[in-house]
A and B are shown apart, each in its own frame.
Chain A
Amino acid sequence: MSFDRYGALATLARTRGHTASEERTLAHVRDELAETAAPAPEDLTTARRRAAEAGAETERLRERAATIRGRLEATRDAGADAEAVERELEETMRRLSEVATERVAARQRLDVQETQARAARDSRERRMRLEDRIANLRRTIRRSLAETVYEEFGGAVTALPDAFDADAGDEPGGYDGEPVAAALAFARVAPLRAPVVVEATVAERFENAATLARYLRGPLVVC
Chain B
Amino acid sequence: MLLVVTYSRAARETLRNVCRTHEETVVRRFGRAALLEETEFGAFLACRLREKHAHDVQVQRTEPFNEFANVPEAVREAATAYESRATPSTPYDKFAAGTDHPRSSTMRDREL
Query: A121–B12 Cα gap in the complex (Å)?
Result: 14
Q: Is the CB of B9 within 8 A of A120?
A: no
Interface string of A111-147 (1 = CB under 8 A from B): 0000001001100110110011001000000000000
Instruction: Report A198 CB to chain B, min CB distance, Å.
Output: 36
**Which residues 41-75 of B sit at the A interface, judged by CB distance below 8 A?**
54-56, 58
Across the A-B interface, how many residue pairs have beta carbons closer than 8 Å? 25
Size band of the interface chain A makes with B = 10 to 19
A42 within 8 A of B: yes
A147 to B74, CA, bound (A): 62
A41 at interface by CB-CB < 8 Å? yes
**How many of B's residues come within 8 Å of A, CB to CB?**
9
* Proximity bits, B6-45, A CB within 8 Å = 1, else 0: 0111001000000000000000000010000000000000
Chain B residues with CB under 8 Å of A127's CB are 8
Flag if A120 contacts B8 (CB, 8 Å).
no
Task: Verify B55–A124 contact, CB threshold 8 A.
Answer: yes
- Which residues 29-49 of A have a CB within 8 angstroms of B? 39, 41-42, 44
B contacts, CB < 8 Å to A? 7-9, 12, 32, 54-56, 58
CB distance from A156 to the nearest CB of B (A): 36
**Measured CA separation A198–B60 after assembly (Å):** 56
Nearest Cβ distance between residue A117 and chain B, in whole angstroms?
Answer: 7
Which residues of A approach B to under 8 Å, CB–CB?
39, 41-42, 44, 117, 120-121, 124-125, 127-128, 131-132, 135
For B32, the chain A residues whose CB sits under 8 A away are: 128
Q: List 23 A-B contacts (CB under 8 A).
A: A39-B55, A41-B54, A41-B55, A42-B55, A117-B55, A117-B58, A120-B55, A121-B7, A121-B58, A124-B7, A124-B8, A124-B55, A124-B56, A125-B7, A127-B8, A128-B7, A128-B9, A128-B12, A128-B32, A131-B8, A131-B9, A132-B9, A135-B9
Residue of B nearest to A126 (CB): B7
Q: Report the separation of the CA atoms of residues A44 and B32 in the bound assembly, to the nearest whole angstrom.
A: 21
A residues within 8 A CB of B8?
A: 124, 127-128, 131
With A44-B55, A121-B58 already in contact, 17 other A-B pairs whose C-beta atoms are closer than 8 Å: A41-B54, A42-B55, A117-B55, A117-B58, A120-B55, A121-B7, A124-B7, A124-B8, A124-B56, A125-B7, A127-B8, A128-B7, A128-B9, A128-B12, A128-B32, A132-B9, A135-B9
